[in-house]
Amino acid sequence: MIKILICGANGKMGQTLAKAAACADEMYVCAGVDKLPDAADNDFPVYADIFDCRENPDVIIDFSRPDALDSNLRYALMNGIPIVICTTGFSDDEKQRIKNASSQIPIFFSANMSLGVNLQMELSRRAAAFLGEDCDIEIVEKHHNQKVDAPSGTAFAIAEAINDALMAPKPLLCGRCTRSEKRGLEIGIHAVRGGTIAGEHSVYFIGTDEIVEIKHIAQSRQIFAYGALRAAAFISRMPAGLYSMADIITESAVTSVTKDDGQAMVTLSELKFSPETVAEIFTDIADAGIRLDIISQTMPHNGRVSLSFSLPRADLKRCLKVIAKYKPECDEIIEESSLSKLTVEGAGMKTQSGVAAKLFGALAEKDIGIFIITTSETNISFCVETSRAVDAIGVVAEAFCL
């Protein structure tokens, strides 16, 4: 179990994080730190000073304020504890101190803990590479009326991602209330504060007669809490260094699962083996205009193989007619007409072992059978009964925290 120390435990995000951690299987909050330690009713001790903490946390998650950075870093460095810094509004000097400390301990530092926002940053970077030189770029961020820094750290991070993609980085202009000249080459950044807005960021690429908008809306603080817990699990096993959400996205063995219904499968069992016969079978199918998907052949044994392939269900009857002439060459032709193909993808598959074991072990626990499998460096595709396809997606999502 990973023991978490929350800095800013009695703030709104600290309380949201504590509730999310209470539902987690492999971590729990052992203590908290807050300048008002009695402001909330917690089931863990909360200290006014981090150095008074008597517990031995495995990871610190900081949702406090920039002015707590020095004490939090000193405590983490003294005790060799990884720290997830979720606070924004740091100066350049404070960011440098974070970077310096990361040479001794693992530090996860992200302007926004949402995976969706980090995807927005990547899409904005790509849009800038394609459109940015010919467009005016504006960023509008909205947050609740208790947020103290403006513009948000996320807005600045988006602007940095955009500038990274431009040949000539643009200056940043936060608001225009004092300007009386026409717009220049800047990236405009604007802050709105009101009510209980959890977080909203819109990026506008404004050209002649067209506007491209990339928008992310956080509908609750839960997404930031889940992101912080995921970061804590990630950083707890990493060496010293500075990490961000991009590292989680890259490191994740599995990042998505998709479903394609309407599949079928055919197997020529114990087919008399010759390369010419196998080639002829596929040629006949291709000549009939039938597109095959996953293909599998067993190793030749005693002069025979089993040859299987998946195809669109709509082409099954036609395919069976085409290959009927090969019945004398095999024991039987087996058909399965109600399959769905699931494709599990993730760049981390290139470097991580055990993905297939975890995937098919999780499916086996739910008694979900696999009909045919194919793999590449970054994906695994397999067919299951259509009646179990939705269950299979849930199993994959749970196994890989999607």
Residue 359 burial class via C-beta count within 10 angstroms: exposed 0-12, middle 13-18, buried 19 and up: buried
Contact indicator for 93, 36 with CB cutoff of 8 Å: no
CA dist 328 and 354 (Å) reads 41
Q: Are 3 and 58 in contact (CB under 8 A)?
A: yes
Find, among 30, 22, 63, 59, the residue nearest to 47 by Cα.
30
Annotated catalytic residue 216 = no
Considering 12, 35, 144, 147, which one is annotated as catalytic? 147
Closest CA to 342 of 303, 371, 314: 371
Minimal CA–CA distance to 396: which of 252, 231, 295? 252
| Separation in Å, CA 182 to CA 8, 179, 206 | 43, 8, 15
Q: Which two tokens stand for residue 155?
A: 């807005």
Can you tell me the distance from the alpha carbon of 100 to that of 109, in angstroms, rounded to the nearest whole number? 13
Which of 143, 170, 216, 341 is the catalytic position?
143
Q: What's CA 243's distance to the chain center, in Å?
A: 15
Active site residue 147: yes
Whether the link from the prior residue into 151 is cis, omega within 30° of 0, is: yes
Edge to edge, the sheet with strand 172-174 lists: 172-174, 187-193, 136-143, 199-207, 210-218
Positions marked catalytic:
143, 147
